[in-house]
Amino acid sequence: MTDPRRPLRVAMLSVHTSPLDQPGTGDAGGMNVYVTGLARALAREGATVEIFTRRTSGAQPDVVPLADGVCVRHVSAGPFEGLDKNDLPGQLCAFTAGVLRTEAWREAGWYDVVHAHYWLSGQAGWLAADRWDVPLVATMHTLARVKNAALAPGDTPEPAGRAIGEEQVVDAADALVASTAQEARELTSLYGAAPERVHVVEPGVDLDVFRPALVSTDGLDRAAAAALVDADRRSRRAALGLPPDRPLVLFAGRVQLLKAPDVLVRALGVLRDHERLVPTLLVLGGASGRATAVRELQALAAQLGVEDRVVVRAPVPADELAAHMRAADVVAVPSHSESFGLVAAEAQAAGTPVVAAAVGGLPTVLDDGATGVLVADHSAWTWAEAIGDLLDDPERRAALREAGLAASPRFGWDRAAKEMLAVYADARSVRSARARARG
């Protein structure tokens, strides 16, 4: 039983990617943002959170403070470097042993709940939760069967072993956390999850970082206000070393087939061929999966004659990402699969219209035609029309901006943390009931 007189202690597991890593390259992405944002918010609610992740460098200290009440623990499991995500199942035994050793030198009953992120963490968390007799909560983030059903042309399917491992975690977890109702349905229909153990908790956005530019439009009609905002965006582009008088479309994420930045490059080619205005496409991201991914994207731009319109830069920290969003006319999220779509939610909060693929959780983030634009397919023609038409219509962009800003407060991390604490409490009840049923 948890002592109500002390803070809740959460062992949070993130095996394959550290919350200290910069999102946007390698295996670091939205999950890193999720783990960090949730852990900080749980600590603000009074919990103590320890995040266990695999050590990837001998220089990493054993423990790194992340915020008041939150630390990151590096666990040695296999070679520090040279392993990708597909190599990690063979290191789960070593990782789990490292997690268990951390608890072993403390008093019994130290942790109150294990919260595992992604299926690899779920496998380790399953053993830790059983050893400590505490509930296992699992957030899957992505699902193999969902990703394989929406593969980009030429992409590699997720291995069968992953789907089997996911099934095991789904069965073992006392609570499963889905980011959207769509993901909850996928857990029940594709993995046989018990509906009463699936909880929908929408991820959050750091609303102190992702906020609109401070441009006063009081007393102005929509057209005049839109012109003032566009002028502010031009000055921000100039400060970032980008062409100020050319519209800017921003893609922020890993450069890989799943995230589909190639769709945007092909859309620029369509705009060029039809003699429409071709914006600058700024890609903030690094290669993921294939080391040559960035060079391949640049080669595609050259092949289509739009190499002078495509700028690729390394991913940036959250405050700089927000600054780039405020400089952009449109943020594009063309992914083939997204369990939620944090970039879309962050862009809305920063006051930038979003054009996104109508996949996964993105229709939850965006209300098509009201707070954003959803694109039904991944055709370069469709995307060219969606982006081109929006860039040609400043008043429509202004309307999307206003509606998006009005909707963005629902995605605060503090709200998500309160809901997650309720999930933890429910998971304790489920674990107790399952133990009684076993006799």
Contact present, 298 and 310 (Cβ < 8 Å) = yes
Tokens 């914006």 locate to 279
Q: Is 9 annotated as a binding residue?
A: no
Q: Is 196 annotated as a binding residue?
A: no
Please choose, from the candidates 329, 335, 370, 359, the residue with its C-alpha nearest in 3D space to the C-alpha of residue 347: 329
Q: Is 287 annotated as a binding residue?
A: no
Which residues contact residue 426 at a Cβ distance below 8 angstroms, ignoring those fewer than 6 apart? Answer: 175, 199
Distances (CA, A) of 109 to 5, 105, 106, 136: 14, 11, 8, 14
End-to-end CA distance of the chain: 18
The strand pairing partners of 317, in sequence order, are none
Q: Is 28 annotated as a binding residue?
A: yes
Contact present, 261 and 249 (Cβ < 8 Å) = no
Q: Is 12 annotated as a binding residue?
A: no
The one-letter amino acid at 407: A
**Distance, CA of 106 to CA of 129 (rounded, Å):** 16
Q: Is 292 annotated as a binding residue?
A: no
Q: Is 328 annotated as a binding residue?
A: yes
**Distance, CA of 424 to CA of 101 (rounded, Å):** 23
Contact present, 353 and 390 (Cβ < 8 Å) = yes
Please choose, from the candidates 190, 324, 310, 203, the residue with its C-alpha nearest in 3D space to the C-alpha of residue 252: 324
Q: Is 16 annotated as a binding residue?
A: yes
Contact present, 77 and 121 (Cβ < 8 Å) = no
Contact present, 253 and 281 (Cβ < 8 Å) = no
Q: Is 142 annotated as a binding residue?
A: yes
Q: Is 162 annotated as a binding residue?
A: yes
Q: Is 326 annotated as a binding residue?
A: yes
Q: Is 316 annotated as a binding residue?
A: yes
DSSP code per residue over 118-155: HHHHHHHHHHHHHHHT--EEEE-SS-HHHHHHTPPTTP
For 172, the 3-state DSSP assignment is helix
Instruction: Give the distance from CA 438 to its chain's centroid.
Output: 37
Which structure tokens are listed for 286? 């690094």
Q: Is 140 annotated as a binding residue?
A: no
Ramachandran category for residue 153: left, alpha or beta (phi over 0 → left; psi -120 to 50 → alpha):
beta
Q: Is 55 annotated as a binding residue?
A: no
Contact present, 398 and 230 (Cβ < 8 Å) = no
Q: Is 29 annotated as a binding residue?
A: yes
Q: Is 418 annotated as a binding residue?
A: no
Contact present, 91 and 55 (Cβ < 8 Å) = no
**Residue ranges for the binding site for 1D-myo-inositol 3-phosphate?**
16, 27-32, 85, 118, 142, 162
**Residue ranges for the binding site for Mg(2+)?**
325-326, 328, 352
**Residue ranges for the binding site for UDP-N-acetyl-alpha-D-glucosamine?**
22-23, 30, 254, 259, 316, 338, 346
**Residue ranges for the binding site?**
16, 22-23, 27-32, 85, 118, 142, 162, 254, 259, 316, 325-326, 328, 338, 346, 352
